[in-house]
Structure 1
Amino acid sequence: MLGAHDSTRDAGRAQRWAARLAWPLLGIVISLGLWALAARYISDVEVIRAAFAPQAGLKALVHLLGSGELWPHISTSLQRIAIALLLAMAIGVPLGLCLGLSPLFARISGPTFQFLRMVSPLSWMPLAVMALGVGEAPVVFLLSFATVWPIMLNTAAGVAALDPAWMRLAQSLSATRWETIARVVLPGCISHILTGFRLAVGIGWIVLVPAEMLGVSSGMGYFVLDTRDRLAYDELMAGIVVIGGLGFALDWLARTISSRWTQRGKQG
């Protein structure tokens, strides 16, 4: 009886996994079909149509990964986004705490922050190059500028959502300002901070590619620009696939960290 029960349970688990994988696989098949259809009508030149076809792009992807040509660009892009996110966290979280804890600071700085937030990060490219020169610094600046806002605003929202009773309890225990922030405010709004971080990852990855077309010699943005100049359209499509795959993986990682922290908080 136990063996039959275990077999039924394993079969049900296998069916659930199959159902969970079936829809994403169907989406991938449909996407490849649309890709192939679009490649047929992208140009009247047969060579260009063949270069944009899925089989050409995927073949180029396997070659680029196997030869190691693409890995330095991937590594450089991931390093840049990591540095930018660390800077955005170091700036955005304290600013968000100030906005949430100080109504006066929020009234003074709020309009300025909202104005700057609505300026496209890419519009700062010329000024970033003039001020920081050509190289890593302007790219990291643009990424940090793009990613700081969701972290800052979500931190402020987390502070606003805190239970006022927690703050009154900290005051009744004669906690200092820093003790209140470290032991009450930050733990209470960490889920909002992680949500802002996830949003920042998505925004930063989108801005990364055009930012890396700014006078650097490595990175996925540079790789896409270089393939265009070399008319290597199959490699260009391979680069686009890699950019999408890496962005998906980064978002999945940020989402997993956020959900696990939330579950841990509920269990605690």
Structure 2
Amino acid sequence: MKSFAAKASARAAGGAVRVFLLLAGLFWLLPTVGLLLSSLRSPSDIAASGWWEVFAAPARLTTENYASLLANDTITDSLLSTVLITVPATLLVLLIGSLAGYAFAWLEFPGRDWWFLGVVALLVVPVQVALVPVSKLFGAVGLFETTLGVVLFHTAFGLPFAIFLLRNFFAEIPRELLEAARLDGAGEIRLFTRVVLPLGGAAIASLGIFQFLWVWNDMLIALIFADSQSPPITVALQQQVRQFGNNVDVLAPGAFVSMVVPLVVFFAFQRQFASGVMAGAVK
């Protein structure tokens, strides 16, 4: 049996770890809190002092910046463009990745292992390598500076990781369970929708979060391939900085809205994200 001193030491160590993690979390959220408070201050207050001064005069907080944000057609249109890019790019990766992951895990077809090795090899291909050739291709087929072109680019580069993750997860489903479903008369489509998808919910949810965060926060691909007249929020904010360097009453709330959406998505599904990624990678 452990002595009282050993138990006390273990509890103290556990408490210290929790305190450290709490402090690390608060430190990580500090820029977000600062941005939120800055978005609630007037431009003159932002220019005169730092955001921490708000605690000395909380009555000076105002929501006028958000009213200015809603009145800015460039920012509101960019938010809509971001949604129109992020949602389809996420759903397409989930759909195609799930189907391909199931095929690589449980279907027999010629060259299956070699095809999967090719998918794994694509994981190490950087996005920058494809910018010039894809730009030429999109220009030739009329997809350059279109929402569809950005969606297709994100989908193509999101699929290798999606297939790798879901294939590893689906491969751990007991073979006996699938064989029993087949004996009951289930075809491949029914087997996929009624057995595989429910069991792979954690991995699919984690993949959806990962893809959503990547596409929403992207700036490089959006800057090159998106419509310059209706860019995503990341590009729109960058243009505001370049054109109106003192337009902080729009920049601060716009940046906070752009940041808070992926934060809400991540914190709402962080358990599925962690469990799905670990299960797919380790198994």
Which of 118, 125, 129 matches 2:131? Answer: 125
Residue 107 and residue 27 in structure 1: after superposition, are their counterparts in 2 closer, same or farther (change >3 A)?
same
- The C-alpha deviation readout for 1:156-207, integer Å capped at 9, x for no partner, is 1221121222023224435433343333223322332222212221222233
Shift of 1:80: 0.8
Kept in 2, the 8 Å contact 1:213–1:225? The answer is no
* 1:31 aligned partner: 31
| Equivalent position amino acid for 2:241 in 1 | R
| Equivalent position amino acid for 1:189 in 2 | G
Residue 257 and residue 78 in structure 1: after superposition, are their counterparts in 2 closer, same or farther (change >3 A)?
farther
Please show how residues 245-260 of structure 1 align to structure 2 within 5 Å.
245-252=260-267, 255=269
* 1:85 aligned partner: 90
Shift of 1:96: 0.9
Shift of 1:243: 2.0
Q: Distance in 2 between matches of 1:241 and 1:109?
A: 42
Q: Distance in 2 between matches of 1:222 and 1:157?
A: 36
* 1:101 aligned partner: 106
* 1:67 aligned partner: 71
Q: Distance in 1 between matches of 2:255 and 2:199?
A: 39
* 2:151 aligned partner: 140
Structure 2 residue runs without a partner (length 5+):
1-21, 36-43, 55-61, 277-283
Kept in 2, the 8 Å contact 1:158–1:188? The answer is no
Shift of 1:24: 11
Shift of 1:51: 9.4
| Equivalent position amino acid for 2:263 in 1 | F
Instruction: Between 176-185 and 72-81, report the one with greater CA deviation.
Output: 176-185
| Equivalent position amino acid for 2:136 in 1 | M
Shift of 1:81: 0.5
Shift of 1:126: 2.2
Residue 123 and residue 239 in structure 1: after superposition, are their counterparts in 2 closer, same or farther (change >3 A)?
farther
Kept in 1, the 8 Å contact 2:154–2:215? The answer is yes
* 2:220 aligned partner: 210
Q: Distance in 1 between matches of 2:83 and 2:255?
A: 15
Q: Distance in 1 between matches of 2:136 and 2:48?
A: 38
Q: Distance in 1 between matches of 2:28 and 2:64?
A: 18
User: SS of 2:223's equivalent?
Assistant: coil
Q: Distance in 1 between matches of 2:49 and 2:86?
A: 28
Q: Distance in 1 between matches of 2:178 and 2:128?
A: 40
Q: Distance in 1 between matches of 2:92 and 2:30?
A: 39
1:186 aligns with 2:201: no
Kept in 2, the 8 Å contact 1:97–1:155? The answer is yes
| Equivalent position amino acid for 2:199 in 1 | G
Kept in 1, the 8 Å contact 2:32–2:256? The answer is no
Kept in 1, the 8 Å contact 2:98–2:166? The answer is yes
The structure showing larger relative contact order (alpha-carbon pairs under 8 Å, at least 6 residues apart) is 2
Q: Distance in 2 between matches of 1:52 and 1:210?
A: 32
* 1:243 aligned partner: 258
1:110 aligns with 2:123: no
Higher share in helix: 1
User: SS of 2:94's equivalent?
Assistant: helix
TM-score by length of 1: 0.67
Percent identity between matched residues is 13
* 1:229 aligned partner: 242
| Equivalent position amino acid for 2:124 in 1 | M
| Equivalent position amino acid for 2:220 in 1 | P
Shift of 1:82: 0.8
| Equivalent position amino acid for 1:156 in 2 | R
| Equivalent position amino acid for 2:138 in 1 | L
Structure 1 residue runs without a partner (length 5+):
1-21, 36-46, 263-268
Which of 211, 221, 229 matches 1:200? Answer: 211
